[in-house]
Structure 1
Amino acid sequence: MKILMITGSAHKNGTTAMLASEFIKGAEEAGHEVYRFDAAFKNVHPCIACEKCHNTDAGCVFQDDMNEVNTQLLAADAVVFVSPIYYYDINAQVKAVIDRFYANDSALHGHKKAVLILAMADDTMESADGAIVSFKGMTKFLDWEIAGTVVGVECADVDALQKTDYPAQAYELGKNL
C-alpha cells in the first residue's frame, strides 16, 4: 500500500513528529511504502479559489511544493494527516495542503483510506472537535474510508507523550492499516 503522510508541526522532535514516526515504523514493518510530506518546512501557498486549475490546462496558478504532494496524493492508497491542535483545529500548514486538494478534486473521490493523528496539551477531547469534524466531512465528501484516528490529549511535550500509550496506538494503526 502506498501511503502519503502530511504533517504540520514545525517541531522536528515534537509530539506529532513522534506519533508520525511510530505510525511510519508500523506501516513499513507491515510492508507499506510511506511518503512523508512535512508541510511546515515546505512552500505551499494557500488556495485562492481562482479556478485556474479547473478552467485551463495549466493547472494551479501556484507552482510550489504542492507539485511534490500531488504526485504522491494521486498515487496513494491512504492519506495520513498529522497535526498538533492549535485553537481547536488542525494547524494552518496541514489545512493549506488540504485546501489545495481542490485542483485534483475529481481524481480524488473514492478508493482511499484516511487516518487522522493529533496531539494537544489540553485535557479534553472538545479541543479536537474542530479537527475531527473537518476530517469526517472531508472524508465523507471524498468518499474515503476512515481507517483510524489517534488523538493524544495532555501531551504538551514529548516527555508527557512518552508516558501514554498514544505512540503504541500510532504504531499499531500503521502496522494494521
Structure 2
Amino acid sequence: MRWALVLALTAAYPLIVYLSLGHIEPRYLALLLLALGVLRWLAGGAQVVQARWVAVVALLLAGGTALLNQSLPLKLYPVLVNFALLAVFGLSLWRGPTVVERIARLQEPDLDARGQAYTRRVTQVWCGFFVLNGGLALATALWATEKVWALYNGLIAYGLIGTLMAGEWLVRRQLRARWARGQA
C-alpha cells in the first residue's frame, strides 16, 4: 500500500510542482518532498538500503528547498529517482541475479542460460536508459523553463519508459519464437 502511494506521488510529482510554482512558495512545496522522503523510508521494500538512501537525499532536497526557498532542489527529485534506479539495476548486474531476471523468474522459474543472458542484456539497456533519462532530467532542472521541466519529467520520460517496455516486449516475443523454432 505504501509503495503504491510512493509510486503515485512520484509519478504525479512534476505536475504537482509545476502547477504549484508561482502560487505556492517553494519552501511550502518542500512538504511534498518531505512526505515522499518519509514514505520511501517507511515503505522500505526489497531494496531497503537503496530506498533509505533515496529517502535521505529526498529529505535533504526538501531541507534545501525550505532553507533556500528555491525551486531547484524540488526539480532535482527526478534526477534522484533515476540515479536510485540506476543503482538498483546496476548493482544487480554486479551481484546478480539481475532485476530483470528476478522479474522474469516470477513467470518462468526455470529460466535457462539463454534467458538469463537476455535478462542481463535488458538490465544493461535499462541502466543506459536511466543514465540518459537522469541526464535529461538534470539538464531540464538546471537550464530549462519550469514548463519544459514538467513536460519532460511528467510526460515525455514516462512515454519513453513505456516505449522501452513495449519495444523490449516485442523483441522478447520475436526471440522466444526464434528459440522455439530452434534458431539462435
TM-score with structure 1 length normalisation? 0.28
Structure number with the higher helix fraction is 2
Structure number with the higher strand fraction is 1
Structure 1 or 2, whichever has the larger Rg, is: 2
TM-score with structure 2 length normalisation? 0.28
- Using CA pairs under 8 Å that are at least 6 residues apart, name the structure with larger relative contact order, 1 or 2: 1
